[in-house]
């Protein structure tokens, strides 16, 4: 039996990168999906390839999360899993950081995660079961020179939200965990100079960048019954780049 056979999942930020890898891993593991992204043009062909449902919209708007939850309920009658992957990053130094940039990053990363949880948890409560996976970052635990203050603050907030939700809803059978990736091979990393890549690799004991599939494998595990006794954790996945 596949690890997620018979389970339904909502995955935000699914159109590329880690979210896309999670969507494929969940589908291969037997889950029925509702995927999300900002662009219907990107989502429609992906949904067709996966054979799943989709909702396009700004995750920083409450209505998007409402539509995601309703789509999953109307299509599958339940929501077993929520993956809050949608997010944005900036690298602006503090003295150059403007209020509108601060507010945008917090709105998408932190408030968007709050909205999705707010809309999905009531349906999980009805069944007294569910797994929520929030995408955090190493930057939420320690200072990161290649990420702005607002990005780290948003991810630190996600880790705090994870613990609070886990404590409140554990008696109702709902597990909440966050994943904290370190350096991962993405479109952005392909633009690094050879010198900068070597600098990053030198700080990773396993001497390689992570892959989106590494993160997706952890998400499948956390969503599955194999992780049934794990909740309230913010799990590092970084090749030893940061240990705590």
Q: What is the pLDDT of residues 37-72, one digit of tens each?
A: 999 999 999 999 999 999 999 999 999 999 999 999
Tokens of 113: 């995660």
* Total H helices, total E strands in the chain: 8, 7
Q: What percent of the chain has pLDDT over 70?
A: 99
Q: Which residues, at least 6 apart from 204, have a Cβ–Cβ distance to it below 8 Å?
A: 182, 183, 238, 239, 240, 241
**Cα–Cα distances in angstroms (integers) from residue 151 to residues 46, 100, 121, 188, 218, in the given order:** 28, 13, 25, 16, 22
127-163 confidence digits (pLDDT tens) = 999 999 999 999 899 987 778 999 999 999 999 999 9
Q: Which two tokens stand for residue 32?
A: 């029925």
Tens-place pLDDT, residues 175-184? 999 999 998 9
| Distance separating alpha carbons of residues 197 and 174, to the nearest angstrom | 40
pTM, whole model, 2 decimals?
0.96
What pLDDT does residue 85 have? 98
Say how many C-beta atoms besides its own lie within 10 A of residue 213's C-beta: 15
Q: Tell me the average pLDDT across 87-107.
A: 95
Q: Would residue 123 show up in a list of annotated catalytic residues for this protein?
A: no
pLDDT score of 99 more than 90: yes
Q: Which of 123, 151, 196, 242 is catalytic?
A: 151
Kindly state the tokens that stand for 232: 């309230």
């Amino acid at each position: 039996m596949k690890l997620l056979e018979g389970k339904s999942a909502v995955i935000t930020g699914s159109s590329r990168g880690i979210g896309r890898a999670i969507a494929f891993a969940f589908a291969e593991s037997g889950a029925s999906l509702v995927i999300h992204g900002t662009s219907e043009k990107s989502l429609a062909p992906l949904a067709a390839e996966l054979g799943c449902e989709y909702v396009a919209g700004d995750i920083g708007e409450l209505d998007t999360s409402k539509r995601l939850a309703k789509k999953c309920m109307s299509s599958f009658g339940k929501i077993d899993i929520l993956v809050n992957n949608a997010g944005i990053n900036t690298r602006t130094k503090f003295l150059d950081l403007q209020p509108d940039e601060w507010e945008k990053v917090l709105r998408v990363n932190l408030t968007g995660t709050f909205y999705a949880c707010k809309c999905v948890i009531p349906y999980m409560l009805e069944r007294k079961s569910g797994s929520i996976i929030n995408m955090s970052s190493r930057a939420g635990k320690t200072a990161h020179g290649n990420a702005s203050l607002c990005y780290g603050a948003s991810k630190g907030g996600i880790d705090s939200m994870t613990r609070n939700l886990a404590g409140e809803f554990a008696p109702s059978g709902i597990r909440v965990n966050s994943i904290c990736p370190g350096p991962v091979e993405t479109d952005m990393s392909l633009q690094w100079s050879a010198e900068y890549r070597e600098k990053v690799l030198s700080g990773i004991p396993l001497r390689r960048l992570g892959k989106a599939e590494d993160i997706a494998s952890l998400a499948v595990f956390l969503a599955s019954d194999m992780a049934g006794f794990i909740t309230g954790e913010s799990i590092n996945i970084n090749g030893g780049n940061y240990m705590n």
